[in-house]
Amino acid sequence: MDQEKTPEHPQFRLPDPALVTRTMSEVAERGQRIVTDFLRRQAESEAVPDPLNIGGAFLEMTTRLMANPARLMQAQLGFWQDYLTLWQNTARRMLGDVPAPVIAEDPRDRRFKDEAWRENEVFDFIKQSYLLSARFFQTVVSDVDGLDPKAAQKVDFYTRQFVDAMSPSNFLLTNPEVLRRTAETGGENLLKGLSHLLADLERGKGRLRIRMTDDSKFRVGENIAVTPGKVVHQNDLMQLIQYSPTTATVLKRPLLILPPWINKFYILDLRPRNSFIRWAVDQGHTVFVVSWVNPDEQLAQKGFDDYMQEGIYDALSAIEKATGEREINAIGYCLGGTLLATTLAHMAAKRDTRIKSATYFVTMTDFEEAGELGVFIDEEQLHCLEEQMQKRGYLEGREMATTFNMLRANDLIWSFVVNNYLLGQEPFPFDLLYWNDDSTRMPARMHSFYLRRMYQQNDLIKPGAIELLGQKIDLRKIKVPSYLISTREDHIAPWKSTYRATQIYRGPVRFVLAASGHIAGVVNPPDSGKYSHWVNEQLPPDPEAWFEGATELAGSWWPDWHRWVTALEKSQVPARLPGYGKLKPIEDAPGSYVKVMATD
């Protein structure tokens, strides 16, 4: 008798022979083309055997570990004892008992969301044995005495990369959801997944470039980045956008937003419902936004000083022509905030007071504890990176994007491997992931300066150590009111590092901590009802002390910022339309610079 189809025993059917034949023929043709192209590119490059210097770090770790064999033996005995208990518990489950798990997954770990990981004793055993092994590896590498801190950080990071990659959820035969789908579709999911894999290899020209979202559903300026406005000024590095008012009167001081040039500015204008730019316009701000160029080899010699001059200083002059106002409020996001702080110190040295308030979104100025990005900043890697940039004149946007994705590998790499290649599903259209994949290039001179002088040498907080545009930079000279918003789960700009700026700036400072991470914690409109934030009027030197004394408030921090900035200057003037000043519109927002893709 045929077995009936149940959730536990899905009916297996054979795949469509025509689909198999068509897919295999396509694999042969496209695969040959991809491999040939990849080998050609490899032959043209001078690859470094270990550019990340991972081997040296693990060699040092192994040497230190062998110096204390008793501790290693103790860890192994604990691991095998737990493993023996797991075997016994699995046998008891098969006999009908319900023992407590030896190790439980984090409830937030989406890799094991399928109920079979808990209800089926075989998959429960696979899951727990993986979790035990992962804990063993991470405990061993993190418990080594005398290891150089940088080497320890690198070992810990790449051990987690290895552990994440080896998760049973990433493999066909050990993922119950994939096995179920394979049985239900007769393996057609795997054939579709193979086609997706080939398409991603073609997108990456032989290197895997995972498609995270259905990018055919998005068009910049059509259904994302649609807040009305005009480009009113441009130069080699940026276009300046002035947005159209939605109120009869506006605040006298215009608002200038400086996004990071590592990404596109429209993270602050994804959709009308979550657009910080649109919300600020609706609150009565005359909003100007810098849209950075996606640089090519012709801009290889543009430096940090050029971003100051052609970014902030040119924007200030343009805003005065457009509105007649010299005094403005400024916002800098991440690297844009680092540029803002650097420029404010430069302006202080020249007694230039046009920027009357500074808001920093998740911005580091003290890079002593730069978080996991520090794994990629050492002499060996910087030398290798600089050699690559010198050949091309820029850093490829895809290389930067891969680095950021590795910081959250389970969410931004492996979940898509399972969804796209094993389950054979099409990526879901998601505006944030479209933006995340719309990477930008970095000019060689600027990026080398930023990584060496700020990340590696931490010169920005050393008074006078950096000289730009003829002035020595001293952040202690910044006396304008400052608003710092950081996020509690930030992997890129850890909040305890961003908090250090509160002890540097000499003007009034307000520090606010939002829940969630580098993007979601910032792009959190009041109507969403998501993510709380913490406030504390006191600014003790220790960030933990600040947090212990902070008050948690429900919802978005945006209204708190608006109250803060309007309290500094409440004056109103009639609304200003783009093009009604001395600057004539060049083109409609979001402009043409933002539409240049890194792959163009």
- Which positions are annotated as active-site residues? 334
CB-based contacts of 148, cutoff 8 Å, min separation 6 = 60
With CA atoms as reference, report the closest residue to 293 among 594, 513, 544: 594
CA 543 to chain centre: 23
With CA atoms as reference, report the closest residue to 178 among 498, 424, 439, 502: 424
Q: Is the separation of the CB atoms in 331 and 257 below 8 Å?
A: yes
Calpha distance 451→510 (Å, rounded): 28
Calpha distance 187→194 (Å, rounded): 11
Q: For 573, phi and psi rounded to 5 degrees?
A: -140, 165
Q: Which amino acid is at 57?
A: A
Residue 162 tokens read as 């290895």
Q: Which amino acid is at 65?
A: L
Residue whose pair of structure tokens reads 């150590």 in the numeric block:
465
What is the SS3 assignment for 48? coil
Calpha distance 382→376 (Å, rounded): 8
Calpha distance 410→170 (Å, rounded): 10
Residue 344 tokens read as 């404010």
HEC profile of 404-429: HHHCCHHHHHHHHHHHHHHCCCCCCC
Q: Is the separation of the CB atoms in 233 and 314 below 8 Å?
A: yes
Q: Which amino acid is at 467?
A: E
Strand partners, 333: 361
SS3 content of the chain, % helix, strand, coil (to 5): 50, 10, 40
Q: Which amino acid is at 109?
A: D
With CA atoms as reference, report the closest residue to 170 among 410, 529, 520: 410
Give me the long-range contacts of 70-78 (CB less than 8 A, separation at least 24): 71/143, 72/140, 75/136, 75/139, 75/140, 75/143, 76/136, 78/136
Identify the DSSP state of 519: T
Residue 268 tokens read as 């602050």
Calpha distance 123→134 (Å, rounded): 16
Residue 273 tokens read as 């419902």
Calpha distance 510→480 (Å, rounded): 12
Q: Which amino acid is at 563?
A: R
Residue 64 tokens read as 């230190």
- Cα four-point dihedral sign 17, 18, 23, 26: positive
